[in-house]
Amino acid sequence: MVVFEKPKALTDAQTHYCPGCTHGIIHRLVAECMDELSLEGKAVGVAPVGCSVMAYDYFGCDMIQAPHGRAPAVATGVKRAKPDAFVFTYQGDGDLAAIGTAETVHAATRGENITIIFVNNAIYGMTGGQMAPTSLPNQITQTTPYGRDVNTAGYPIRVCEMLSTLDGVAYAERVAVDCVKNVNKAKKAIKKAFQTQIDKKGLSIIEVVSSCPTNWGLSPNDALQWLRDNMLPYYPLGVYKDKTGEEVK
């Protein structure tokens, strides 16, 4: 009896992620949900710029690599051209909440029927650990070497809270992948977000609080503990918006 296998919606390509990085877990959850909802065949995924830029090689569905921050606009173009396609973006914090803020907010307020998987690890990973829009106050990064000073560098953005004010957002939930219990919850959330799109309810976003051991300078385990101690108090987990019970207009 097979008790554990690779989801079908993941390719055989070996990922390039650092040891202890949680992208692998999140990729797997997305792929499992695609499998379980039979979405791969009609799915078009949009990869960001950032650590997960090469997600196009890892997901088995059709994929598009978008310019930095523009994934929600690219996804909008796909969905409008092919309304029957299942469309998701997979974006990091720099991509979604800094350079792509306008694209994110406007896709959300238009209620584009797409799903955004938002990986928040409070740092720019691919470029080597610079401050992200979600870096915590006093967090040390390459570009905040004395800690993020909110007086000069401003405050972190709480994306789920911000987007949940917009009428176009049908479902917004923040989850974490720091422990088995939370991983299971994260999968449930992603599946719910996908179902939201299938039901044509509007934009769904799952913010996944995750770790970056390499750029945080911590071991994988210590990184998860740092996540629990520092990120979760600032980014409380939970459902921020749920209009899935409402009738489709």
Tell me which stretch binds another protein (CB under 8 A): 51-59, 163-171, 204-212, 220-228: 51-59
- Beta carbon of residue 172, minimum distance to another protein (angstroms, whole number): 19
Distance, CA of 91 to CA of 63 (rounded, Å): 13
Q: List the end-to-end C-alpha distance of the chain, in Å, as a whole number.
A: 46
- Beta carbon of residue 40, minimum distance to another protein (angstroms, whole number): 8
Contact 237, 207 (CB under 8 A): no
Distance, CA of 121 to CA of 9 (rounded, Å): 24
- The answer to the question of residue 94 lying near another protein (CB under 8 A) is no
Residue from 15, 24, 67, 137 touching another protein (CB under 8 A): that is 67
The 173-212 site mask, x for binding another protein (CB under 8 A), equals ----------------------------------------
| Beta carbons within 10 angstroms of residue 221's beta carbon | 11
By beta-carbon proximity to another protein, the closer residue of 78 and 231 is: 78
Distances (CA, A) of 146 to 64, 132, 138, 225: 38, 15, 7, 22
Residue from 106, 185, 188, 228 touching another protein (CB under 8 A): that is 106
Contact 202, 236 (CB under 8 A): no
- Beta carbon of residue 179, minimum distance to another protein (angstroms, whole number): 32
| Contact set for another protein, span 68-87 (CB under 8 A) | 70, 73-82, 84-86
By beta-carbon proximity to another protein, the closer residue of 41 and 238 is: 41
By beta-carbon proximity to another protein, the closer residue of 52 and 141 is: 52
Q: Is 209 helix (H, G, I), strand (E, B) or coil?
A: strand
The 145-164 site mask, x for binding another protein (CB under 8 A), equals --------------------
Burial readout 119-155 (b: 16 or more C-beta within 10 A, e: otherwise) = bbbbbbbbeebbbbbbbbeebbbebbeeebeeeebee
